[in-house]
Amino acid sequence: MSYEEISEIYGNEGVYRSACEKLAAIADIKDQCRRAGAQYDEDFNRVTVAYLNRQYLLTLSNCQVSLTGRDTDRDEEITAMDKTLIAHYLTLAKGTPLSGRLTTYKQVPGGTPYFARFSQLAVQPLISHFGEKPELLIPAGEKLGGKRINRGDAAITINAFSRVPITIVLQRGDEEFAATASVMFDSTISDYLPSEDIRILCEIITSKLISFS
C-alpha cells in the first residue's frame, strides 16, 4: 500500500466508521477495553480512552467521538485520522504488559517498507526544529503529558495511549557531528498498533511537538 493510499484511508470518515463498527462487534467489549487500559460504560455503550494527553469519549452506537471531562473546553478538531487511530488501538489491544525494553521502527514488524517515510516525516523534522536547542523538547513534550527521562541531551517519554509509550531522544550537534533524533517504542507496541498506525501516530506527535515550541 502506498503512502498516498494510507493517508487517504486514515483521513477518511467512512473508514473510521468501519473501524468503529468492528470495535463495537467485539463480543466482550468490556474486557477488550480493559486490555487497552480504557473504560467501558455499559449503560451508555461508550468508551473513555486517553490519547495524547486528552480524554476522549467514543459512543459505539453512533461512532461519535468527543472530548470529555476537563478537556471539553478545548477548542480542538478531532480529525478522522485521530478517530481511526483510537478505534484501531481499542480493537487491536492485546493487554500485553509493557516490557520496558525499547525498540526502533525498523524493528517493528512491517516497519521496514515505511522507514524512509517515517524518517522523513517523523524524525527529520525533530532534528531540524530541535537539533540546535534540544532543551525545547521538554516543555513541548510536557504539553502532551510527556515525562523527561535521562538520555541524550534531551529526552522524553509520551504515552500516546495508555499502553503505547513513545520515547524521543535528541542529541545536540557540534562541529564534528550532526544533531540526531531517535524515536523508540516499548517492544510490545505491535500488540497494540500495526506499523502503519505507528508511523502516522509519530508524524502527528512530531507535528504537535513542533507547534508547541
Domains of the chain: 3-92 (no CATH), 102-211 (3.30.310)
Report d(CA 82, CA 89) in Å as an integer.
Answer: 11
At 3, the pLDDT band (50, 70, 90 cuts) reads very low
Which tens digits make up the pLDDT trace of 104-151? 999 999 999 989 999 999 999 999 999 999 999 999 999 999 999 999
The model's pTM is 0.92
> Does position 66 have pLDDT exceeding 70, yes or no?
yes
Count the neighbouring beta carbons within 10 Å of the beta carbon of residue 61. 10
- What was the pLDDT predicted at 173? 86
Distance from the Cα of residue 132 to its chain's centroid: 25
At 174, the pLDDT band (50, 70, 90 cuts) reads confident
Which amino acid is residue 193, in one-letter code?
A: L
> Does position 16 have pLDDT exceeding 80, yes or no?
yes
Joined together, the cell numbers standing for residue 42 give 455499559
- What was the pLDDT predicted at 2? 42
